């Protein structure tokens, strides 16, 4: 049966001489793998494969069978064409970071329309974002993604409870008896980021590059504590170098 669904490309792997296997997070079916034929060629002017670049937001007509792990695509078209991300080194590095994070956190094929919409909106808003918003974007994404994955940080920051316990995912009044915690003022910045509803609002949080690096490291520790076998982020060094 043929279905039409939007999707976000997470990874492509070459298969044979002209085909690819695309890992796509779809609106209707969650995480799925698709065989796409005839998109790789050395012929001049062949740009079919461009649509399957990681981060692409596409609309697909697919043959879906619940009993299969690899599905086929009948037709693919752009749902949203980036205006700035492909030409902006800062935004491009951010997208690579976001996509790698999604690869490491989304592992099951269950549909989750709220998660899909969050990711799609985040990518489109990044494409439209100004320079300051783009600098804070990885933090915005890191802070808000867990809410759709079932292990978000509790929003209970206060003056006495100003230390973030990464193991419990909540702010506490005393230093925990382990190393996985975030002291103030970094913990307050994380709380501020949790209250950001639109990425542009993050411009109001006074962060420099050194502070962003520290917060990023703490938040990745949070992911490591709550997601089994969460490996180090290869794109992190590129992101930090670009924004240094």
Res 67: pLDDT: 84
* Residue ranges of the chain with per-residue pLDDT less than 50: 45-46
Q: Are 23 and 69 in contact (CB under 8 A)?
A: no
Q: Are 90 and 243 in contact (CB under 8 A)?
A: yes
Give CA–CA dist 87/67, Å, rounded.
Answer: 40
Res 43: pLDDT: 59
For CA atoms 85, 82, 219, 206, the dihedral sign is positive
Res 45: pLDDT: 47
Give CA–CA dist 159/181, Å, rounded.
Answer: 16
Q: 111 by DSSP, 3-state: which?
A: coil
Whether 1-81 shares its CATH topology with 83-244 is answered no
Fold designation for 83-244: de novo design (two linked rop proteins) (1.20.1440)
The domain limits of the chain are 1-81, 83-244
With 0-12 CB in 10 A as exposed, 13-18 as middle and 19+ as buried, what is 228? exposed
DSSP 153-172: PP----SSS-EEETTTTEEE
Class of the 1-81 domain?
mainly beta
Res 18: pLDDT: 85
Give the H or E element holding residue 25: strand 19-26
pLDDT digits (tens, 9 = 90+) for 98-157: 999 999 999 889 999 999 999 999 999 999 999 889 999 999 999 999 999 999 999 999
Res 104: pLDDT: 97
């Amino acid at each position: 049966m043929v279905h039409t669904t939007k999707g976000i490309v997470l990874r492509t792997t070459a298969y044979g001489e002209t085909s690819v296997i695309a890992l796509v997070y779809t609106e209707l079916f969650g995480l799925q793998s698709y065989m796409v034929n005839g998109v790789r060629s050395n012929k001049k002017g062949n740009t079919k494969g461009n649509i399957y670049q990681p981060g692409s937001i596409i609309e697909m007509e697919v043959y879906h069978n619940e009993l299969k792990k690899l599905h086929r695509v009948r037709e693919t078209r752009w749902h949203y064409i980036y205006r700035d991300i492909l030409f902006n080194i800062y935004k491009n590095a951010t997208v690579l970071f976001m996509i790698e994070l999604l690869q490491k956190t989304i592992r099951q094929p269950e549909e989750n329309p709220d998660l899909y919409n969050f990711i799609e909106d985040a990518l489109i808003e990044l494409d439209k974002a100004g320079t300051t918003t783009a600098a804070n974007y990885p933090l915005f994404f890191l802070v808000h993604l867990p809410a759709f994955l079932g292990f978000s940080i509790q929003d209970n920051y206060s003056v006495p409870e100003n230390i973030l316990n990464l193991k419990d995912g909540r702010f506490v009044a005393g230093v925990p008896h382990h190393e996985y915690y975030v002291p103030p003022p970094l913990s307050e910045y994380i709380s501020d980021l949790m209250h950001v509803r639109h990425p542009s609002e993050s411009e109001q949080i006074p962060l420099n590059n050194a502070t962003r690096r520290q917060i990023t490291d703490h938040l990745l520790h949070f992911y490591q504590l709550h997601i089994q076998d969460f490996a180090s982020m290869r794109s992190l060094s590129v992101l930090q170098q670009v924004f240094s």
